[in-house]
Structure 1
């Protein structure tokens, strides 16, 4: 489907000119692999391998990444089916680019407010040299911005909101990934959590930021830098 690939590349270029970091997926299978590391997904319902509605349904079983679906205005109940399959919003093709931008911004504003426990206002949390802004979803390490995916931010913010507390794997999967389907973690869910913890440690530059408590879960750690070392340790 060379025509669709050209459309995807053109859309990606326009979004990048408006400040977005864009990655394209050539197939439904590729979209499923990348959905959890994406802040928002733009999903064409016409895919070369898997029906777009089925891709949407599968994403909803493993991730709460927001989805904007592109539907065919001539298809019977296209928007209705897209929304029922799990899309957050639908646009009929052809669509206006600036309308797409407005819908993306509206969804991301809603996502930005949906942090932590309902009723608890987003705020800036400081752990050592890391500042985590719950309102703007920005993370800074010693004043320098750290680029995190949506789920990486949610995981870091949740742990930082519970300082000194060991949070179980099951609780993290329930709170961050909304996975309440089983009492015991399956291999896939466990790998998902470990992958995100490992990525966070790498981006923060030290494994000590997130401490593993074997057999239980994780807690927020604290890493001293040469600038913040106590005198006893510095000597």
Structure 2
């Protein structure tokens, strides 16, 4: 098995010990002494798994875990000298996938690392196969087949309705102006008095929203435009 592991611990001996065991298993390791150093490394490199100590100076592992989870989804295994159930719960609540108490059995750590790596790599392979499928909550948009589902229910959209929904979904969280939507979908200059986009948005909502007048997918940003 291959994989890149980031080991974050302020104890140099523990970092080195973990690194030796993992590299003996064919895994590549990088070490960080502090959470800040780890966050800087994550900006520059991709990792498949993180081993993260909780008790560290300046920024502890729980805070670091929450920051990592804002943008990244690789497995995180937390290490701590604390063995109380509440400490484990807090560690897992902060976004960790697993928790080991120090002193730990290196063979157990290796087994858990391999288990999480297998699941993560399997998930990534599935995601690669679905990169042309946009998923937002229960809404599923297949850009290859141009089919749309809400839960198990297939939704039939006109070509222009589909193009608008796809545009908004690909720009999730970004407010798209009416003129931008029109020009992107119709490939024509937008006229201020034209309400074509509004009419199409209304029709899309009637098809995908449980309560079209209280939409959960396509939001109106008054005076600006629409966003998902």
* TM-score normalised according to structure 1 size: 0.50
Q: 1:5 — aligned with what?
A: 12
State which of 92, 102, 118 in structure 2 corresponds to 1:109: 118
Deviation of the 1:168 alpha carbon: 7.6
Partners of 1:17 and 1:74 in 2: CA distance:
28
Q: Which residue of 1 aligns with 2:131?
A: 158
In structure 1, list runs of 5 or more residues that go unmatched: 116-133, 136-153, 174-179, 186-214, 216-235
- Where does residue 139 of structure 1 map in the other structure? none
Asked if 1 retains the 8 angstrom alpha-carbon contact of 2:10 and 2:33, the reply is: no
> Who is 2:161 aligned against?
none
Q: Which of 38, 41, 50 lines up with 1:41 in the alignment?
A: 50
Contact 1:35 1:41 in 2 (8 A): no
2:11 aligns to what SS in structure 1?
helix
Matched, 1:18 2:9: no
CA contact under 8 A between 1:72 and 1:78: conserved in structure 2?
Answer: no
Per-residue Cα deviation, 1:175-213 (whole angstroms, up to 9, x for no partner): xxxxx6x2269xxxxxxxxxxxxxxxxxxxxxxxxxxxx
How far residue 85 of structure 1 moved from its aligned partner, in angstroms, is 0.4
Secondary structure of residue in 1 paired with 2:131:
helix
Q: Deviations over 1:117-156 (max 9, x none)?
A: xxxxxxxxxxxxxxxxx48xxxxxxxxxxxxxxxxxx679
Partners in 1 of 2:117 and 2:10 — Cα distance? 29
Aligned partners of 1:170 and 1:33: how far apart in 2? 30
> 8 Å contact 1:28–1:50 — kept in the other structure?
yes
Gaps in structure 2 of 5+ consecutive residues: 1-8, 133-142, 145-165, 177-183, 185-228
1:78-126: CA deviations, max 9, x gaps?
A: 11110000000111111111111111111122212224xxxxxxxxxxx
Indicate the residue corresponding to 1:59 in structure 2: 68
Q: Secondary structure at the match of 1:19?
A: coil
Paired residues of 1:70 and 1:93 also in contact (CA < 8 A): yes
Query: Partner of 2:174 in structure 1?
Result: 183
State how many pairs are aligned. Answer: 142
Q: Residues 43 and 69 of structure 1 are in contact (CA less than 8 Å); yes or no, is this contact kept in structure 2?
A: yes
Q: 1:68·1:88 contact (CA, 8 Å) conserved in 2?
A: yes
Structure 1 runs of 4+ aligned residues shifted over 3 Å read: 73-76, 154-159, 167-171
Counterparts of 2:63 and 2:70, CA distance in 1: 11
TM-score (norm 2): 0.51
1:34 offset after TM fit, Å? Answer: 3.0
Is the CA contact (8 Å cut-off) linking 1:170 and 1:184 kept in structure 2? no
- What is the root-mean-square deviation of aligned Cα atoms in Å? 3.7
Question: Which residue number corresponds to residue 147 of structure 1?
Answer: none
Query: Residue 88 and residue 74 in structure 1: after superposition, are their counterparts in 2 closer, same or farther (change >3 A)?
Result: closer
Preserved contact between residue 170 and residue 183 of structure 1 (Cα < 8 Å): no
